Amino acid sequence: MQLTQQKIWLPSPPDGTRIALGMDGSINDDWTAIRGETIDGFQFTPRYGPDRRPMVWNPDEWGGEIPRSEVAAAVDELFSVFKVRLGYFDPYGWTTEIDEWQQKHGEDNAQAWPTNSINRMHAAIVRFEVDLAQKRIEHDGCPLAETAFGNARKKARPGQKYTLDKPTNHQKIDIVMSSILAHEAASDARANGWGEETDKRVFVFR
């Protein structure tokens, strides 16, 4: 799975842009990453805080564990700066935080989306691949994302399905998973009236 390479890393969309979010979280081994997608299909790695760090956390750079307070601050900033229609968050290790984000930002806007269902994940990957090939998705040229997409490998699963895996432990793909979740959130939101005057608030999970 490859992204079209960009020569420059484009800035995030302007404040107030309507977006969907995807987050793949970890505790102390894999990375944690958040990606956004605008209503018209532009994917990006948001930046946050005074140093405008990308929302990608490598535990090796934070004393061996993901800095949960940094992630929480980043999520709060996203909901404050952008018009977040829907965020899908993989709950492994982050259930309490997701509960807190639902209370703070609305249960309809921050939802747990487990990535450990083969059927659900396979369908999401296929949709992402098709939409990427059909140029329904554009991206910001984030070099971290380009590396992660280069790392991702398809792993065969029962029923002629597949999920994604990393070829070695140090070749992380968490940004890819976050991109797929962001696209699922954006696609489900669009299917349920995102951008219309009255949004429908019922989402279909696969």
Residue ranges of domains in the chain: 18-191
Predicted pLDDT at 201? 47
Q: Among residues 98, 103, 108, 100, which one has the least CA distance to residue 20?
A: 108
Encoded amino acid at 192, one letter: N
pLDDT digits (tens, 9 = 90+) for 81-126: 999 999 999 999 999 999 999 999 999 999 999 999 999 999 999 9
Look up tokens 């971290």; give the residue: 144
Residue 22: name the closest of 108, 104, 95, 111 by CA. Answer: 111
CA pair distance 173, 90, nearest whole angstrom: 14
Which residue in the block uniquely carries the two structure tokens 């842009």? Answer: 17
* Tokens describing residue 96: 């309490």
Distance CA 94, CA 109 (A): 16
- Residue 22 tokens read as 């995807």
Per-residue pLDDT reduced to its tens digit, 188-204: 999 999 987 554 445 44
Q: Three-state SS for 46? A: coil
d(CA 46, CA 59): 18
Q: What is the CATH number of domain 18-191?
A: 3.30.420.240
Asked whether the beta carbons of 181 and 90 are under 8 A apart, the reply is yes
Q: Round to whole Å and give the CA distance between 124 and 205.
A: 10
